[in-house]
Amino acid sequence: MMVQIGLAALLVVAYVIVSRILKSSVALLGRTKAVSEVRITYVSRMLNLGFTGVFVLLICLVLGIGYGQLAIFFSSVFAVVGVALFAQWSILSNITASLLIFFGFPYRVGDWVKVVDKDDEILGQITEISTFHVIIHRLSGDVVTYPNNLILQKAVVRFDSREAAQAMSQFSGSKPPEQPDTAK
């Protein structure tokens, strides 16, 4: 029994140390990529939640809770969570895409980009990357809210400047084409 308590105490100390390292590493990476503090906090919390789940599983194993009991408990929890998330699949995919964008997206806030979409020209400056979407201000002044899971599926072209983006626009300038006056 003393060995189990000692191992549990060691796991708690390791949990505290690793969670602090994880939090500071995410914060350092976020500052390096010029990500907002809100986004850094969100990613830290999501990773800490997963790490806490692994910690609880390890504590249960160290304290002698049987594999069968753990399997029943976790399968029940995963079944309930799975049914709840199946109804909200797009939300889950956007959250997962948000984590992928944080660690591997080659574009940052302030970049001029064009999302290659056959239905519409989405060309403008990225002004925010949030949990569920990327906000792009178009050359015409419109604001596009593009879902994270879709921006990972589309080709994205990055431009060096506003002028380079304007040159690639299907519109002639920064204003949308004028409509003919038919109200006579």
- Structural contact between residues 133 and 147, judged by C-beta atoms closer than 8 angstroms: yes
**Predicted model pTM:** 0.58
Provide CB contacts within 8 A for 18, sequence distance 6+. 51
Residue 143: count other Cβ atoms within 10 Å of its Cβ.
Answer: 11
Identify residue 63 by its one-letter amino acid code: L
Identify residue 138 by its one-letter amino acid code: R
Average pLDDT over residues 22-30: 91
Provide CB contacts within 8 A for 27, sequence distance 6+. 40, 44
Between 165 and 81, where is the model more confident?
165
Q: Which of 47-61, 78-92, 133-147 has the lowest mean pLDDT?
A: 78-92
Show the tokens assigned to 67. 């594999």
What one-character DSSP code corresponds to residue 109?
T
What whole-number distance in Å separates Cα of residue 59 and Cα of residue 72? Answer: 17
Nearest to 39 by CA among 88, 95, 111, 90: 95
User: In Å, how far are 61, 117, 118 from 155, measured between CA atoms?
Assistant: 45, 8, 11
Residue 177 has pLDDT above 70, yes or no: no
Going from the N-terminus, what domains does the chain have, and what CATH number goes with each? 2-87 (no CATH), 108-168 (2.30.30.60)
pLDDT score at 64 = 80
pLDDT score at 125 = 92
Show the tokens assigned to 140. 């015409």
- 181 pLDDT band, cuts 50/70/90, is very low
Tens digit of each residue's pLDDT (9 = 90 or more) over 120-157: 778 899 998 888 888 999 888 889 998 888 888 888 88
Between 159 and 86, where is the model more confident?
159
pLDDT score at 15 = 93
pLDDT score at 25 = 92
- Structural contact between residues 56 and 12, judged by C-beta atoms closer than 8 angstroms: no
pLDDT score at 58 = 86
Show the tokens assigned to 6. 């000692």
Average pLDDT over residues 64-73: 77
